[in-house]
Amino acid sequence: MMADLADKRIPYLLTAPGTLFFAALLGAPLVMTFLLSLHAYDFTAGVLPGWTAQNYIEVITDSYFQKIFARTFGLALLVTVICVLIGVPEAYVLSRLSSRWRSFFLLIVLGPLLISVVVRTLGWALFFGGNGILTMVSQALGFGDAPVSLMFTFTGMTIALVHVLVPFMVLAVWASLQKIDPQSEDAALSLGASKFTVLSRITLPQAMPGILSGSIIVFALTASAFATPAIIGGRRMKVVSTAAYDEYLSTLNWPLGAAIVVLLLLANIAIIVGYNKLVERRFAKVFE
């Protein structure tokens, strides 16, 4: 059957509201931010008309910004590793529970994703503050009366971010464990493999795609997280997102802030694309 011209136009008409809206309200703002990052800024004259790469040079060469980018990268790496270490076993435990307990605990583990990050971070701030639970515990254990605070520390940020993001890891691994045929494990067991061998040779390789995609989600979200580093890390423990926030809303040097943001976006895309390539190669190895 020949499709006539009107039929060919239908899919474009159906997607037009979305694509037009996005072109105007996503494409244009992003392009404008990029262009803004190529202008210099003067504290009295504002944004200067000439084109320059000066903001990028400043962000890349200034040791202040190098430290912030390095800290953000380290934080994202550490949070990702911890999320793998605790999220993968938890997803495995969940997959082994009876169906009633499983849906109950899935609700507990995934539910916090729906609760505002501000609320979850507030909970950790209550733990970490100088007159919080931590101090009470350390006093009760006889470590002296000095208040213990994890506010404005790297450790505090790490703990809170792991809490905020580990549900994504559990979810990704859980989804890939769902696809495993339990008979492959039973077969290995009945052929005399030990439980550990089954875990490392059968279950883990099949869960690998989930672990990898969970890692990339956690890494990308940590690298650009704002609420938790802003509340727990504050001004003393700046990361890329809080530094950009300060450039935009305190210093008002928008072009410099734009350069920081563009670099964050590029790093984000590079890591996602690079990781996907790695995953594809891994896939080929596992399922040859």
Partner 1 sequence: MRQLGLGARIFHGVFVLFILAPLVMVIAVSFTDKGYLSLPTDGLSLRWFYAIAENPEFIDAFWMSVWLGLVSASIAVLISVPAALAIARQRFIGRDMISAFLLSPLMIPHLVLGVAFLQFFSEIGLGGSFYGLAAAHIVLITPYALRLALASVTGMSQDAEDAALTLGANKFTVFRRITLPLILPGVAGGWLLSFITSFDELTMSVFVASPSTQTLPVKMYHHITQTIDPLIASVSTVLIILTFVVMLILDRFYGLDKIFIGKG
Name residues contacting partner 1, limited to 148-167 (CB under 8 A). 160, 163, 166-167
Q: What separation, in Å, do the N-terminal and C-terminal C-alpha atoms of the chain show?
A: 41
Q: Three-state DSSP class for 2?
A: coil
Cβ-contact 169, 88 below 8 angstroms: yes
Name the residue type at position 96: R
Token representation of residue 198: 């089954």
* Per-residue binder mask for partner 1 (CB under 8 A), 17-56, x = binder: xxx-xx--xx-xxx-xx--x--------------------
Q: Which of 78, 148, 175, 279 binds partner 1 (CB under 8 A)?
A: 175
Burial 92-122 (b: 16+ CB within 10 A, else e): bebbeeeeeeeeeebeebeebeeeebeebbe
Instruction: Report DSSP letters for 4-21, one per residue.
Output: PHHHHHHHHHHHHHHHHH
Other Cβ atoms less than 10 A from the Cβ of 64: the count is 10
Q: Which of 148, 226, 246, 279 binds partner 1 (CB under 8 A)?
A: 226
Q: Which of 81, 139, 268, 282 binds partner 1 (CB under 8 A)?
A: 268
CB closer to partner 1 out of 195 and 285: 195
CB closer to partner 1 out of 154 and 226: 226
Look at residues 179, 160, 171, 156 and name the one whose alpha carbon lies nearest to residue 111.
171
Q: How far does CA 243 lie from the centroid of its chain?
A: 17
Question: Is 12 a binder of partner 1 (CB under 8 A)?
Answer: yes
Question: Is 115 a binder of partner 1 (CB under 8 A)?
Answer: yes
**Residue appearing with tokens 């990028």:** 56
Minimum CB–partner distance for residue 186 and partner 1 (Å): 9
Minimum CB–partner distance for residue 114 and partner 1 (Å): 5
Q: Which of 38, 106, 148, 180 binds partner 1 (CB under 8 A)?
A: 106
- Binding to partner 1, residues 82-101 (CB under 8 A): 86, 89-90, 93, 96-97
Q: Which stretch binds partner 1 (CB under 8 A): 48-56, 63-71, 75-83, 169-177?
A: 169-177
- Binding to partner 1, residues 227-256 (CB under 8 A): 227, 230-231, 241, 244-245, 248-249, 254
By rule CB under 8 A, what count of residues binds partner 1? Answer: 82
As a whole number of angstroms, the distance between CA 271 and CA 288 comes to: 25
